[in-house]
Amino acid sequence: MKVENVPENNLIVLFLLMALTLGLYYFWWLARMSRIFDDKPVSNILLVFFTFGLWSVYINMRYMQKSEELNGRDLKWYMILFLPISFLVVQQNVNERYYPGR
């Protein structure tokens, strides 16, 4: 897990960027999160394209699990219901871990 250059995003701004760019901002966000979780950003983005988005379901669940573990929690079974907004959950957990009290 890389600690330097951990991006902090306001959740409202993140949601608006996803909505206004029709999801294109997701690829930028995915690249940034991939670096935090020691994955290869280019591989993740290409896999999302070549699997027609199926890889994003897997990678979002994996990042939700890893981000919960960052804060000492386990991923609960009902978190699957939050999959459409998993980018917000992951970002909140990253913000909570690296920017406490903000």
Is residue 86 within 8 A of residue 15, CB to CB? The reply is no
Cβ neighbors of 15 (< 8 A, separation 6 or more) are 85, 88
CB 75 within 8 A of CB 64: yes
Ramachandran angles phi, psi of 41, nearest 5°: -60, -45
What pLDDT does residue 99 have?
A: 87
Note whether residue 1 is domain-resident.
Answer: no
Number of domains present in the structure of the chain: 1
Q: Which residue type, as a one-letter code, is found at position 65? A: Q
Q: Is residue 75 part of a domain?
A: yes
Query: Each residue of 15-72: pLDDT tens digit?
Result: 999 999 999 999 999 999 999 999 999 999 999 999 999 999 999 999 999 999 999 9
d(C-alpha 55, C-alpha 44), whole Å: 8
Q: Whose structure tokens read 């959740």? A: 11
Per residue in 59-87, pLDDT (tens digit) is 999 999 999 999 999 999 999 999 999 99
Residue-range definition of the domain harbouring residue 45: 11-98
Phi, psi dihedral angles at 63 (to 5 degrees): -70, -30
**Quick one: pLDDT at residue 20?**
96
Classify residue 4: in a domain, yes or no.
no
Other C-beta atoms lying within 10 Å of the C-beta of residue 92: 15
